[in-house]
Amino acid sequence: MKAAKKSRVKRSSKATTSGSDLAKTALCGTLPKVKKIIQAGAKLDASDRDGFTPLMLAITGGNLKIATYFIEQGADVNRRNRRGQTALMLAAQDGRKEIVEHLIRAGADVLAVDKEKMSAVSWAACRGDFPEVISTLVTFKADPNVRDVRGVTPLMAASLLGYSNSVAVLLTVGADEEIKLRGRTAYQMASEKGYSEVCRTIKAVLKSRPPREFWASTTD
C-alpha cells in the first residue's frame, strides 16, 4: 500500500517537474528541447499559476517556432489565463500576424473578450501600431467596434495613442467614427492629444471610404 502511494507521488512529482520545464522552455528555450519534454509526458495545455499555457508563454516570449509547434500538436487555442486572455489576444497585442493567422486557422475565437471586455482587436489597437494584425482579425469577422469595460473602442484606443496606421485600417474596415465616450469621438480625442497625423488620417479615410450603408450590407 505504502509502495503504491509512494509510486503515485513520484509520478505526480515527475509530471509537475516536466510541466514546469515545458513552461520555462516554451518561454525561452528551443524547439528540440520542447519536443523532448513533450515526448517525456508533459501536458500540452498545463497552465501556470497565472493561467498561462505553454502556447501562451511561447507567444509571450516571441518563440514563434515553438508556438507554431504547439498549435500543430493540437494545443487548446481558446484556453484563457486568469485575466481572461486567449493566445490570440496575446499574439495580437504583440503584433504577431503570422501566429494570429495560425491561431485563427486552428479555431481561435476572434470574438472572444477578456475580463476587461477587450478582444484581440482591442489589444492590437492599444499595444502598438499593428494595422496588418487588425486587418487580419477583421477579415475573419472580428468586431472593429467592440467596447471594453470603460467604453473604449479600438479606434479610440489607436487614436489616443497616435497609431495612425491602425486608425486608417480600422476606418477602412468599417470602424464607426461617430461612437462617443464622454461626449468625444476618436477624432476629438486625437485632436486633444495633439496627434495631427491621426486627425489627417481620419479625414482622408472618411473622404474616400464607402458610405456606412455599405458596411451594414456586408455584415448582414
HSE toward the beta carbon, residue 220, CA cutoff 13 A: 6
Residues 68 and 154 in one domain: no
Residue 151 lies in a domain: yes
DSSP-derived 3-state class of residue 106:
coil
pLDDT band at 48 (very low <50, low <70, confident <90, very high): very high
Per-residue model confidence (pLDDT) at position 95: 97
The arithmetic mean of pLDDT across residues 151-167, rounded, is: 98
Sorted by sequence, the CB contacts under 8 Å of residue 188 that are 6+ apart come out as none
Read off the pLDDT of residues 12-46 as tens digits, 9 standing for 90 and up. 444 445 668 899 999 889 999 999 999 999 999 99
Q: What angle do CA 108, 114, 119 make, to 5 degrees?
A: 60
Which amino acid belongs to residue 110?
A: V
DSSP-derived 3-state class of residue 5:
helix
Residue 91 lies in a domain: no
**By the 8 A CB rule, do 168 and 201 touch?**
yes
Average pLDDT, the chain: 90
Per-residue model confidence (pLDDT) at position 11: 42
Residues 71 and 8 in one domain: yes
Residues 127 and 201 in one domain: yes
Residue 105 lies in a domain: no
Residue 98 lies in a domain: no
DSSP assignment string, 117-172:
S--HHHHHHHHS--HHHHHHHHHTT--TT---TT---HHHHHHHHT-HHHHHHHHH
Query: Can you give the pTM of this predicted structure?
Result: 0.87
In the predicted structure, residue 3 carries a pLDDT above the cut 90: no
Per-residue model confidence (pLDDT) at position 79: 97
What does the alpha-carbon distance between residue 199 and residue 186 come to, in Å, rounded to a whole number?
A: 9
Sorted by sequence, the CB contacts under 8 Å of residue 132 that are 6+ apart come out as 95, 97
Structural domain of 43: 1-84
**Rounded to the nearest 5°, which phi and psi values hold at 142?**
-70, 150
Residue 187 lies in a domain: yes
HSE toward the beta carbon, residue 14, CA cutoff 13 A: 10
Length of the chain: 220
Per-residue model confidence (pLDDT) at position 20: 82
Residue 76 lies in a domain: yes
CATH code: domain of residue 195: 1.25.40.20
Residue 99 lies in a domain: no
Look at 35-39, 98-102, 216-220 and tell me which has the smallest mean pLDDT.
216-220
Read off the pLDDT of residues 56-94 as tens digits, 9 standing for 90 and up. 999 999 999 999 999 999 999 999 999 999 999 999 999
Query: What does the buried/exposed string (b/e) look like for 119-135 if buried means 16 or more CB atoms within 10 Å of the residue's CB?
Result: bbbbbbbbbbbbbbbbb
In the predicted structure, residue 138 carries a pLDDT above the cut 70: yes
How far is it between the farthest Cα atoms of the chain? 79
Residues 196 and 134 in one domain: yes
Residues 153 and 191 in one domain: yes
Residues 31 and 132 in one domain: no
Residues 128 and 58 in one domain: no
Give the residue from 100, 102, 182, 90 showing the smallest Cα distance to 135: 100
Per-residue model confidence (pLDDT) at position 209: 78
Residues 35 and 126 in one domain: no
The arithmetic mean of pLDDT across residues 122-135, rounded, is: 98
Residues 72 and 14 in one domain: yes
The arithmetic mean of pLDDT across residues 106-133, rounded, is: 98
pLDDT band at 4 (very low <50, low <70, confident <90, very high): very low
Residues 7 and 70 in one domain: yes
Total domains, the chain:
2
